[in-house]
Structure 1
């Protein structure tokens, strides 16, 4: 499935918005494509993405040698430490279908007769409780 980072040139209808996060098995992109296929989308438009720190892990290993002579102690110390930052990535997409309608006809001044865009049709579902 195609994923666009800018609006495609051919007419389309937005059929839904998808927010997807990475997980144990899959990136936001693969999860978004799977969701888009379930709703019958032809393509996706990437709207944005975020990355959040979800945790860190660390490891330390070392050695210490100590020797006591009388009232004094002498020693050596050596070790290594490492840490890793873990991220959660989210992607935000518009699921689109290619428009089956003919594009609006231009009038004499080169613009669409109804003032609408000749490239984008938006049909977002009404929210519950809205008139």
Structure 2
């Protein structure tokens, strides 16, 4: 996941003995600082493993079409076909149930904003 979002902290909550190094929260960006320097696979139990990895600051997706992006977000895909417009991409269309779910707190605003950013990037890619 992205840098500073709490991957190592989450690992420590799941498996405290992992003792993954974490850093202070940045006053400026209100997120963690780049602390993890290597990837490490840890056994959680049974056949379950988790990997702590360094974060990334950008994501480049070019193998899908913008109109298909909603299918990669299960919380957004759940609204497919439910909006006023059957082919709603949940970005600029009126009477969009996804936008309403974001406003009602049923879908994370940050997650939705990430969706819109990736959607717009994919639409822009098509113009090249």
TM-score by length of 1: 0.20
* Structure with greater proportional helix content: 2
- Greater relative contact order, per chain length (Cα 8 Å cut-off, separation 6+): 1
* Structure with greater proportional strand content: 1
